[in-house]
Amino acid sequence: MPHEEEGKNGSALPSATRGSRRGPQKSSVRRQSVKRQASREFLPRAVQSSSISEPTPSDVTNGAGGGASGAGRRFEGDFDEILEEVGGYGRFQWRILVLMQPPFMFLGFTLLSQLWLLLEPDHWCKVPELEALGFSPLDARNISIPTEERAGRQQFSRCLRYDVNFSQIADVAGWRPDADTPLTACSSGWHYDFSELYPTIVSDLDWVCDDAWKSPLSTALFFVGSIFGTLLFGAVSDRFGRLPALVAANLTACVAGVVSAFARSLGVFAVTRFIFGMANNLQTTLAMVFLSEFVGVRWRGMVVNLPLATSFCLGMTILPWIAWGAGHWQYVALATSIPMAFPLIYLVTGVPESCRWLQQTGQLDRAIAEMRRIAKENGRTVSEETWQQFTEAATLKYKEEQERPAPGLRQLARHPRLRTRMLVLMFSTAILLLLFDLTSRNTDFDVDIFTAQTLLAVSEAPADLLTWLLVDTLGRRWTITVSTALTSGAGLALAILLHLGTAPAAASTAVAVFCRFCTTVSVNVLMTLSMELIPTDVRSRAFSLTQVAGHAGSVLSPLILFLERVWRGLPQLVLAALALLGAVSVSLLPETRGLPLPDTLAEGEEFGKEQRWLQCYCGSEEDGEMHPGVSDERHGADNSALELEQDTVTQM
């Protein structure tokens, strides 16, 4: 695993963050490091999946407004202090928020566009001798293709034909097979029915029957690309800056996606989609980090969650209809790739580099120059004395951080309880992200694929809202355990409905949507739990490790979905078994709601030691009822990425 160092460039915000917050809290100072409450944020799947350095909260308690002048105040050198002076949320931040919306929509494209390129239209064997006799493809099918049970009803076989030389039969139109008529595999290609689906690369290159494995293989390589992209663009972000990494990730997907549209072989398609997958989640994660580094504490939850609830959800919702309108897989690939060149506009519209990153990498003069421009755009007046005082404090703080040692993953592994907890978190992340991809990429429905995928996408928004409500009432552990168990039950019910094939289409579709809904809740809560359970000292690197495990788990999703060819409903049965295993796994994690969270490895080793399995922390947490004697500022209910230290991360 590539090495990651803390203490030089700032702390990290892991991949795609989803959630909400209550507002600024009091700060606490521990081990002579300056900390501040971070907003309560839920991290998405999705966004599943990478680790990028993030701003470190400071001692400022009002990052949204700030005074017009900081003269007379004592600065600690934290970026949030000067952000308070120039405006934690003003005209500049609104402009940047609007400009950063497209990458959130693009996440829906990178995450699911592969599905729309690899759909398999209905097909049957070509019989050249019948076509030579003047029979249409449909008439030839009625004569030469046997039937088989599929999706609960008799349908024409896709890979077999009668082994008969029809050119030697006098009355072909009147010929009928008997029980002893031999069958053979297709040897002359296939006819495809495009009445319900458009031509895809599967139909263009005949990736069916004996070559059907090529489709799931290319999707699996897409997820392998996500693992490499997590590592690559995380390092680019820390080394060269947020803006170059954001533009590079989107351009990588743009170019690879366009080239993939002209692929005429498995090798070219797989390689280009591997590269396309490198941007999966990263383009949005980088946009999240960029936004969060320019706003005050009280606004961070909003700038992360508003785009996810709107642009990301919109991207997934319109994608099926982009595919329907495009009418050909090549046009789908182009329509979902070319727009990703949009971030180039950031280079010519005055979008600055993250000033927080500039400060954390020692480029203080450039950071101050950018902040002066932001203050002007926000209509704020900052005295020269304030600029000078902050510059001196920030310079001293940077020098101190370069000399401060930080523990690593090796030190974490020496703590038995922490080591076990990390293994549980990695296993749970792999399982739950696999479940999310299984529910998101399912194409086996009793209604048309366009409607079904739209309903799955729409379920994202209410799932996010319910997560927000439940974690503050039922708690993290019970919410994630119950939702994952419900995913298992829904998966089992869906497997039965699909296998029997006799239930109304609305019933199986509703169960599929509910299954996706529960999985989304589970993933949301797990991202929050992971950030809260990992001690601050190693949070960046340890969380990155869980996300890599999650991407690795997702590699299996196309292979499991391929099992539908063996037995209809088998992928959903596997999903149910995995969800049950996941429910048991997440139930082993301690509750964090209303409890003081760990900063050091020693605190992490002791955290949750007194809790019983599935102990419920429900109800109100007022007056310290959940943990008497501990102030609210250290409670898990108000912290998800809690009190991140001023450390630095060179990404994994």
Average pLDDT estimate for 639-647: 35
pLDDT tens profile 359-410: 878 888 898 999 999 999 999 888 888 888 888 888 888 888 777 766 778 8
One-character DSSP codes across 138-192: HHHHHHH--EEEETTEEEE-SSEEE---GGG-S-STT----TT--EEE--S-EEE
What pairs with residue 191 in β-bridges?
124
On whether residue 310 sits in a domain, the answer given is: no
Q: Decide: 84 and 45 in contact? Cβ < 8 Å.
A: no
Domain ranges, residue 145: 122-193
Backbone angles phi, psi at 327, to 5 degrees: 75, 5
Q: What is the pLDDT of residue 322?
A: 96
Sign of the alpha-carbon torsion through 370, 372, 377, 380: positive
On whether residue 419 sits in a domain, the answer given is: no
Classify residue 84 by burial, with Cβ atoms within 10 Å: 0-12, 13-18, 19+. Answer: buried
Q: What is the pLDDT of residue 566?
A: 85
Backbone angles phi, psi at 220, to 5 degrees: -60, -40
- From the list 422, 431, 650, 406, the residue with the least C-alpha distance to 545 is 422
Taking the mean position of all CA atoms in its chain, how far away is CA 611? 31
Cα distance between residue 599 and residue 606, in whole Å = 11
The residue type of 322 is: I
Tokens of 177: 């097979």
On whether residue 184 sits in a domain, the answer given is: yes
Q: Which of 281 and 452 is assigned the larger pLDDT?
A: 452
Other Cβ atoms less than 10 A from the Cβ of 242: the count is 26
The number of helices, as runs of H, and strands, as runs of E, in the chain is 26, 10
Cα distance between residue 299 and residue 293, in whole Å = 11
Query: Among all chains, which residue has been given the structure tokens 């792999």?
Result: 430
pLDDT tens profile 84-127: 888 888 899 999 999 999 999 999 999 899 999 999 999 999 99
Counting Cα atoms < 13 Å in the Cβ hemisphere of 189 gives 11
Q: Which of 50 and 163 is assigned the larger pLDDT?
A: 163
With bands split at pLDDT 50, 70 and 90, how would you rate the model's confidence at 52? very low
On whether residue 350 sits in a domain, the answer given is: no
Cα distance between residue 48 and residue 32, in whole Å = 34
Other Cβ atoms less than 10 A from the Cβ of 574: the count is 18
With bands split at pLDDT 50, 70 and 90, how would you rate the model's confidence at 25? very low
Query: Among all chains, which residue has been given the structure tokens 């072989």?
Result: 265
For the chain, the residue count is 652
Q: What is the pLDDT of residue 382?
A: 86
Cα distance between residue 69 and residue 124, in whole Å = 75
- From the list 588, 473, 474, 480, the residue with the least C-alpha distance to 528 is 480
Q: What is the pLDDT of residue 118?
A: 95
Average pLDDT estimate for 6-31: 36
With bands split at pLDDT 50, 70 and 90, how would you rate the model's confidence at 335? very high
Long-range contacts of 131-135 (CB under 8 A, 24+ apart): 132/167, 133/166, 133/167, 133/172, 135/172
On whether residue 146 sits in a domain, the answer given is: yes
DSSP three-state, residue 33 = strand
Global confidence as pTM: 0.77
Residue 552 neighbours by CB under 8 Å, 6+ apart: 227, 430
On whether residue 477 sits in a domain, the answer given is: no
Query: Among all chains, which residue has been given the structure tokens 């566009």?
Result: 113
Share of the chain above pLDDT 90, in %: 40
On whether residue 178 sits in a domain, the answer given is: yes
On whether residue 165 sits in a domain, the answer given is: yes
Helix orientation angle between 101-117 and 449-458, rounded to the nearest 10 degrees = 150
With bands split at pLDDT 50, 70 and 90, how would you rate the model's confidence at 24? very low
Q: What is the pLDDT of residue 647?
A: 36
Cα distance between residue 510 and residue 416, in whole Å = 44
Residue 421 neighbours by CB under 8 Å, 6+ apart: 533, 589, 604
Cα distance between residue 66 and residue 295, in whole Å = 12
Q: Decide: 485 and 579 in contact? Cβ < 8 Å.
A: yes
Average pLDDT estimate for 319-338: 96
Percent helix, strand and coil across the chain, each rounded to 5? 60, 5, 35
For residue 261, the surrounding DSSP H or E stretch is: none
Q: In the predicted model, what is the mean pLDDT of the chain?
A: 80
Cα distance between residue 15 and residue 531, in whole Å = 11
Torsion, Cα of 319, 325, 328, 330 (10° steps):
-60
Q: Residue 602 pLDDT > 80, yes or no?
A: yes
For residue 358, the surrounding DSSP H or E stretch is: helix 355-360
Backbone angles phi, psi at 33, to 5 degrees: -105, 145
Q: What is the pLDDT of residue 49?
A: 39
- From the list 213, 158, 151, 150, the residue with the least C-alpha distance to 191 is 158
Total count of domains within the chain? 1
Cα distance between residue 252 and residue 236, in whole Å = 13
